[in-house]
Amino acid sequence: MSIEPTKNVPLRRVVNRLLDEIQDRLPDCRKTWWTIKRTTCLENQWARVLAPGKVVLSDQVPGSNKIDDGNYDPATGQLRLTFQDGTAQEVGL
């Protein structure tokens, strides 16, 4: 997803300041997204579990698994991924 405007492009320092604000308030952003959208947007994405609690998105390669569902708990900052093979993995964000 791109946020780059096609007209009246802001200065790089303005964009960097916005990115810093988002990073500083990322838990609030996640909570608001989950409250409004009720999706993690991870369904049907391929991922690999590298270790317990460590999941990375990947291409469809050996060792990867397709995400069936994702649930986020804003109170704990935990993301629970359920894969199509029935396994699940919790990730702290």
Kindly list the domain boundaries of the chain, sorted by start residue. Answer: 12-92
Residues in the chain, overall count: 93
Q: What is the pLDDT of residues 38-91, one digit of tens each?
A: 999 999 999 999 999 999 999 999 999 999 999 999 999 999 999 999 999 999
* Residue of 85, 39, 50, 46 whose CA lies nearest to 66: 46
Using a CB cutoff of 8 Å and minimum separation of 24, what contacts does 56-62 make?
none
Residue whose structure tokens are 């990867």: 64
**How is residue 32 written in tokens?**
């608001």
Give me the amino acid identity at 49.
V
Q: pTM of this prediction?
A: 0.77
